Structure 1
């Protein structure tokens, strides 16, 4: 049986954690700071829980230089429901904000006391103008667009790009911005994109130029950063909403402690339940009254989010409208604080440098042995986080060109597991191999994987 420090894990869902973190968390779970109670047993409204929450916000704000103090700044929310829940919450929030802007304008122009006229005017504007834009570049953005159609109706959903149309029906590219069919800014309630697609190995190389400078009435920019958050520096001010599902948020964060503990042993993360939302405060002030939206239900169904997904409600209650899993947040807080301390002035840029080096090392090996390996996505949009590749038949096998060798892929996986290189099987929907290069993967693990890939290719 291998010891914990002998395992290198490259899975896309579960996360390894350094042993010292597990030990510290275990103590907190049994007896937090000698209070006689475990952290998961105390009230989520207690001073102890509130301090964990405040510490998490402070560390995240410092890490990404998120302005939180003034009215033009951002709220940091901790919620539940995962990325899938935010597919729903984000479109419902943005559509609500769009409607409220038009209601206020109608009241200003028509005057107070003209409620019926205001409702009718906004109803017509919804029917004639409203759009939500989606950049569909992989499996997750596709699901997000489908959820929008389910909630508010497909006629309001504009798929500005479907990358499959540029790649023989498969994901793996991001069309140039000159090919995007974005709605008019004044009609668009939001523009959604998934910054990194875990299933398909595609990542936006930078923030899209065509989305820069958008204000709240120009289509709110919504980004799903569940799988590449804290892996590179971003300008938060480019976004109206950023959301990060807990499973991958923790997965990205926990690895940042590995450098602090030399040879830190790793284990999969078994905690779930926190989703991080970074949302512009000025947008929250546009939240419409449910009674007004109800009058528009004939043209805009399902635009009112469940109360636990209502950003304004969660913000007013300091993320404690319902019971928040404080222990889960505590683990992430430890890692956030460590990252702030470890990388000092470099902050996220320090982790970005490390992530890039690991990705470059793995891709270089795959490209060097291109007679054995085929990297799935286009080189210009290769993900640094999820490296997807297939294995080709041997040149003298007589196999049809362009086909993958299932037997060799099984052999590759079996050989990798013998060397304690785990979690390399691709997503069930696409097959192949996937080496997830999250922050929790050490440079030593990346080097060990590369050595095995070279060995396999030369055999």
Structure 2
């Protein structure tokens, strides 16, 4: 039987975790800091839990250089839950902004002095005429988020800015030129997925079409960074909301993190009342998905898995020990690993085909097909079998697209990437 040291796991998620983190966590499950109780047994309301949360928040802010005017939330429901949470919370914030503008236009300083029927009517008119949610669809996950917005609000409120399939023969693998994007005027938000795990597509940089102007104003930009967070530097201030599941680069399944501008929270922005939302015909979100409630309770409105937060905190502390220059150091290693793997594939283009366009190749999820031989499907099975025999596991592509996928997350050591590159070379020679 293989040992842990024999395996390099390239699975797309849950991803491998550093062995030293797991060893420490195993001890903490039995006895956390000499308390006689395991970490999973301590109350989420305890001082131990608060310290774990606050330390993890501080370390994440330090590693990514998150400014003080952003809140960090630990949530549940995964990235899929955030497809809904984004709609509920940011549509609510949009309604609050519209209400403030209407009161100003009516010359009313205090909402209590307004004609409530008139105010509601003007808000209803604003919703019908102005409300738009913008989605840039570049892969399976942004496609699902887009469909969820339509399910919750209806297609009349959701604008498809760009669908990458339209310029790539009906398949994902490219990002359409920004000059072709159909952005709304003052949308409630613009949504995109920074890295698509299924299709191996990653935005090479922050989209220029969404960049803030010189005075700092610009669209409210939301990004799903579940699969490339902590792997490269992010222009945090360009975003109003970033969310990511922990199970790729930060920890294990069970928690989702949101980095949110505090200006979208009280006292600057309060969510509309359920009564007002009903009058406007807008959906009311579950309280467990409320950013306002989560922030007010330091992510502890309901029972949070403190063990999962602890794992994430230990991963962050290890990253900062290994990389004194923080995320910049990890980014350099991630690029080097990706270059090794892509280089081996490109050197054997008669055997392999890299799926996405070169301009948008993901550093994290390297998707390719084996094209050599009379039966490529059998060739891919042989590739997977040969890789597994060498301890290179988790390489099977997503069930919706097939092929091979090497997920080059932070836990993959440089030696593991080199081992895969060597196997790519040797398999090609034998093909």
TM-score range, shorter chain: over 0.9
- 1:174 and 2:175 aligned: yes
Taking the aligned partners of 1:436 and 1:29, their CA distance within structure 2 comes to 28
In structure 2, list runs of 5 or more residues that go unmatched: none
Taking the aligned partners of 2:83 and 2:320, their CA distance within structure 1 comes to 30
In structure 1, list runs of 5 or more residues that go unmatched: 255-270, 398-403
Which residue is 1:438 aligned to? 409
Taking the aligned partners of 2:247 and 2:133, their CA distance within structure 1 comes to 27
Taking the aligned partners of 1:15 and 1:322, their CA distance within structure 2 comes to 26
1:323 to 295, 303, 306: 303
Which residue is 1:264 aligned to? none
2:256 to 275, 282, 304: 275
Which residue is 2:125 aligned to? 124
Which residue is 2:286 aligned to? 306
Tell me the secondary structure at the aligned position of residue 244 of structure 1. Answer: strand
Which residue is 1:253 aligned to? 250
1:315-373 CA-partner distances (Å, limit 9, x unpaired): 011111111111110111011122223312x2100000000000011001111100000
**Displacement of 1:94 after TM fit?**
1.2
Tell me the secondary structure at the aligned position of residue 206 of structure 2. Answer: coil
In 2, are the aligned partners of 1:253 and 1:440 still within 8 Å (CA)? no
In 1, are the aligned partners of 2:356 and 2:367 still within 8 Å (CA)? yes
In 2, are the aligned partners of 1:216 and 1:240 still within 8 Å (CA)? no
Moved more, 18-27 or 322-331: 18-27
In 1, are the aligned partners of 2:212 and 2:219 still within 8 Å (CA)? no
Taking the aligned partners of 1:61 and 1:154, their CA distance within structure 2 comes to 37
TM-score for both structures, normalised by structure 2 = 0.95
Which residue is 1:147 aligned to? 148
2:278 to 294, 297, 305: 294
Taking the aligned partners of 1:13 and 1:253, their CA distance within structure 2 comes to 11
RMSD: 1.4
In 1, are the aligned partners of 2:246 and 2:312 still within 8 Å (CA)? no
Taking the aligned partners of 2:103 and 2:274, their CA distance within structure 1 comes to 17
Taking the aligned partners of 1:134 and 1:420, their CA distance within structure 2 comes to 40
Taking the aligned partners of 1:337 and 1:446, their CA distance within structure 2 comes to 23
Taking the aligned partners of 1:131 and 1:113, their CA distance within structure 2 comes to 26
Taking the aligned partners of 1:452 and 1:157, their CA distance within structure 2 comes to 46
Taking the aligned partners of 1:143 and 1:216, their CA distance within structure 2 comes to 31
Which residue is 2:28 aligned to? 28
**Displacement of 1:289 after TM fit?**
2.2
Taking the aligned partners of 1:61 and 1:106, their CA distance within structure 2 comes to 37
- 1:102 and 2:89 aligned: no
2:334 to 355, 363, 374: 355
Taking the aligned partners of 1:145 and 1:93, their CA distance within structure 2 comes to 16
In 2, are the aligned partners of 1:132 and 1:191 still within 8 Å (CA)? yes
Taking the aligned partners of 1:12 and 1:103, their CA distance within structure 2 comes to 43
1:58-137 alignment to 2 at 5 Å? 58-68=58-68, 73-110=69-106, 111=108, 112-137=113-138
**Displacement of 1:217 after TM fit?**
8.2
Moved more, 193-202 or 92-101: 92-101
1:380 to 339, 350, 359: 359
Which residue is 2:188 aligned to? 189
Tell me the secondary structure at the aligned position of residue 349 of structure 2. Answer: coil
Taking the aligned partners of 2:22 and 2:126, their CA distance within structure 1 comes to 54
- 1:405 and 2:376 aligned: yes
Q: What is the count of residue pairs matched by the alignment?
A: 421
Tell me the secondary structure at the aligned position of residue 299 of structure 2. Answer: coil
**Displacement of 1:291 after TM fit?**
2.1
Taking the aligned partners of 2:92 and 2:407, their CA distance within structure 1 comes to 36
Taking the aligned partners of 1:198 and 1:216, their CA distance within structure 2 comes to 31
**Displacement of 1:22 after TM fit?**
1.6
In 2, are the aligned partners of 1:7 and 1:421 still within 8 Å (CA)? yes
Tell me the secondary structure at the aligned position of residue 103 of structure 1. Answer: helix
1:32-71 alignment to 2 at 5 Å? 32-68=32-68
Which residue is 2:211 aligned to? 212
In 2, are the aligned partners of 1:358 and 1:437 still within 8 Å (CA)? yes
Taking the aligned partners of 1:143 and 1:217, their CA distance within structure 2 comes to 29
Taking the aligned partners of 2:62 and 2:247, their CA distance within structure 1 comes to 22
Tell me the secondary structure at the aligned position of residue 272 of structure 1. Answer: coil
- 1:453 and 2:424 aligned: yes
Which residue is 1:201 aligned to? 200
Tell me the secondary structure at the aligned position of residue 40 of structure 1. Answer: helix
Taking the aligned partners of 2:370 and 2:225, their CA distance within structure 1 comes to 29
In 2, are the aligned partners of 1:189 and 1:217 still within 8 Å (CA)? no
